[in-house]
Amino acid sequence: MRRRRRVGGGRGWRAPVGYPTRCWRADDSGQITLLAIGFMVVALALVAVVASATAVHLDRKSVVALADLVALEAADALSDETYFANPVTADDPGVPLTDGAVADAVEEYLAAHGDDGLAGLRVLEASTDDGWTATVRLGAVSRPPLVWWLVGTWSDGFAVTGEAHARAS
């Protein structure tokens, strides 16, 4: 009579042909840890990039808002010579703006109210094209808070600009 081979585990068990004889052992442990660390590094880098891009966008919005305020102030600015040289009539209901009055109003406003915490704030343009509309363009430098070590090697930050127009009434 022929003896049957045992298929289950235990003493005397042999692996059938084609069955892997080597199983995962303790020497392969730690693979999941490396994968988890890699995913954490990628996730933290993504958070840093998104936070830095948001900071640059918020700096740009601050420059635009400040340019808007300064343009409104400049639209109300009149020089004494312009005011007394142009009397108000029925045909000409207002006093026109001049480039000098707009530039002076912008400088006075920024000197009185500060730069709103913006680095490198400067006036790029303060003028009037038609004598009724004040055009103000401001520029600043935005430095991302979390990836400064990455972009610091190429430049001192990102240049952001804001432009606003205000019409004198």
Q: What per-residue confidence (pLDDT) applies to 30? A: 64
Predicted local distance difference test score (pLDDT) of residue 57: 92
Whole-number percent of the chain with pLDDT over 70: 67
Segment 134-157, tens digit of pLDDT: 899 999 988 887 776 666 666 677
The answer for residues whose C-beta is within 8 angstroms of residue 134's C-beta and 6 or more apart is 71, 74, 75, 77, 97, 102, 105, 126, 127, 128, 165, 166, 167, 168
Residue 137 and residue 49 in contact, taking contact as beta carbons nearer than 8 Å: no
Q: pLDDT value at position 135? A: 92
Give 163's pLDDT tier (boundaries 50, 70, 90). Answer: very high
Each residue of 8-65: pLDDT tens digit?
555 666 667 766 666 555 555 667 888 889 999 999 989 888 888 898 899 999 999 9
Residue 72 has pLDDT above 80, yes or no: yes
Residue 98 is predicted with a pLDDT of 81
Per-residue pLDDT at 4 exceeds 80: no
The pLDDT, as a whole number, for residue 27 is 58
The pLDDT assigned to 26 comes to: 54
Rounded to whole angstroms, how far apart are CA atoms 78 and 94?
A: 11
**Which are the contacts of 98, defined by CB distance < 8 A and separation ≥ 6?**
79, 82, 128, 131
Tens of pLDDT, residues 74-91: 888 766 666 666 655 555
